[in-house]
Amino acid sequence: MSDAVPFADLGALYREDAPAYDAAYQRVMDSGRWILGAELTAFEAEWAAACGRRHAIGVGNGLDALVLALRALGVGAGDEVLVPAHTFIATWLAVAQVGAVPRAVEPAPGRMVIGLPQVQAAATPRTRAVLPVHLYGEPADPQGIAAWCAQQGIACLFDAAQAQGAQHGGRDASAWGDAASHSFYPGKNLGAFGDAGAVVCDDDALATRLRQLRNYGGERKYEHAVAGVNSRLDELQAAFLRVRLARLAQHNAARRAQAAQYSALLAGTPGLTLPSADVPASCWHLYVVQTAQRDTLARRLAEQGIATLVHYPKPAYRCAPFAAHGPAARSETDRLCDEVLSLPIGPHLSADQVARVASAVSAVSAALA
Ligand SMILES: *Cc1c(COP(=O)(O)O)cnc(C)c1O
């Protein structure tokens, strides 16, 4: 279909800067160094600065970033960690991997992320850490939650996998809390051409523990201070990420403009709930609407060549590994999982394509109302 609207177009991201990516590739090949070299050091400095942090530690992927950050913060066996019910399952898997126990926090009323009141209500005397997620690019009350955790002596780690470039309180959303973890999975706002991730933080000792943990427990060969793992961001991906990082502000500006365009065009559509996220604060990783007719709407859009996705169809606590951690009664997260639909958004789309999606969504919604 010639006028199809794809959900994402990762090839277009390469073509946009092909000479720069090819030069980055050549630079790394000529260097003869593939792991823990100059490209990673340079990317870590650039990413720490972009996040308003003193340190960035590159790791193998976003799940490892969460796991290693929890370990570096001293979270382990038997500790309770507060996690959003509505998130990608990796957030929960990281808690399970360090032997800790996830405790679900339902979203703030009318929103899709958690806030401080929900964290306070869910906390128990065993709560050792809070792990909020800036889901879809929307900051999850970073200032409020970070300040409360600091006052309670509870670790505060933000899952910023979907929030590269999100803003909060005049700073980057990743500048809050003890640390923030990132995924550079290809489809994220800052994506590599393979798997990659990072943790950002300010504390020197925390950064040292992370550099040890990702490299067999030591910063140098054959020094093993802790029982670490092998999870490093490789030189090729670091070099590619430096090229992509130079485009991040421009790509996020395009996403914000598209979100504003969707919200203007779709306002008042019968049966459709639009995202309440603040346009300048969110980096609009996803533009997520809600409707009780979600599956029908998705099917009718697909018939017109418009791709949509569901983030996510099932809460973590309805998945086998975490079935013991969910409420028996139907929750707000259960409802969200039945009703959310992600519309195409991203630097590959034109304003005309966004308008075409919005008019198709309006027409189908009006017919279903
Ligand atoms: C993508 C993602 C992760 C995991 O990142 P990977 O790089 O795929 O391991 C974790 N949390 C959230 C919220 C994500 O969207």
pLDDT digits (tens, 9 = 90+) for 199-220: 999 999 999 999 999 999 999 8
> Can you tell me which residue has the tokens 């973890």?
181
The closest-lying atom of ligand 1 relative to the alpha carbon of residue 61 is 7
The closest-lying atom of ligand 1 relative to the alpha carbon of residue 90 is 10
pLDDT per residue as tens digits for the range 302-341 = 999 999 999 999 999 999 999 999 999 999 999 999 999 9
**pLDDT score for 3:** 80
Would you say how long the chain is, in residues? 369
Q: How far is the CA of 208 from the centre of ligand 1 (A)?
A: 23
Q: How far is the CA of 131 from the centre of ligand 1 (A)?
A: 13
3-state secondary structure of 89: coil
Integer Cα distance of 40 and 196 in angstroms = 11
Residue 181 beta carbon below 6 angstroms from any ligand 1 atom: no
Q: How far is the CA of 58 from the centre of ligand 1 (A)?
A: 14
Residue 62 beta carbon below 6 angstroms from any ligand 1 atom: yes
State the pTM of this model.
0.98
pLDDT per residue as tens digits for the range 23-76 = 999 999 999 999 999 999 999 999 999 999 999 999 999 999 999 999 999 999
**pLDDT score for 308:** 98
The closest-lying atom of ligand 1 relative to the alpha carbon of residue 197 is 7
DSSP state of 233: -
Nearest CA to ligand 1 atom 6: 62
> Can you tell me which residue has the tokens 């949509």?
308
Residue 240 beta carbon below 6 angstroms from any ligand 1 atom: no
Q: How far is the CA of 306 from the centre of ligand 1 (A)?
A: 25
Residue 159 beta carbon below 6 angstroms from any ligand 1 atom: yes
pLDDT per residue as tens digits for the range 252-297 = 999 999 999 999 999 999 999 999 988 889 999 999 999 999 999 9
pLDDT per residue as tens digits for the range 164-192 = 999 999 999 999 999 999 999 999 999 99
Integer Cα distance of 14 and 233 in angstroms = 19
Q: How far is the CA of 42 from the centre of ligand 1 (A)?
A: 23
Q: In what order do the strands lie in the sheet with 55-59?
A: 55-59, 197-201, 179-183, 155-159, 127-130, 80-84, 101-105
Residue 241 beta carbon below 6 angstroms from any ligand 1 atom: no
- Give the orientation angle of helix 18-31 with respect to helix 235-245, to 10 degrees: 150
Integer Cα distance of 53 and 178 in angstroms = 10
> Is pLDDT at 369 greater than 90 in this prediction?
no
> Is pLDDT at 2 greater than 80 in this prediction?
no
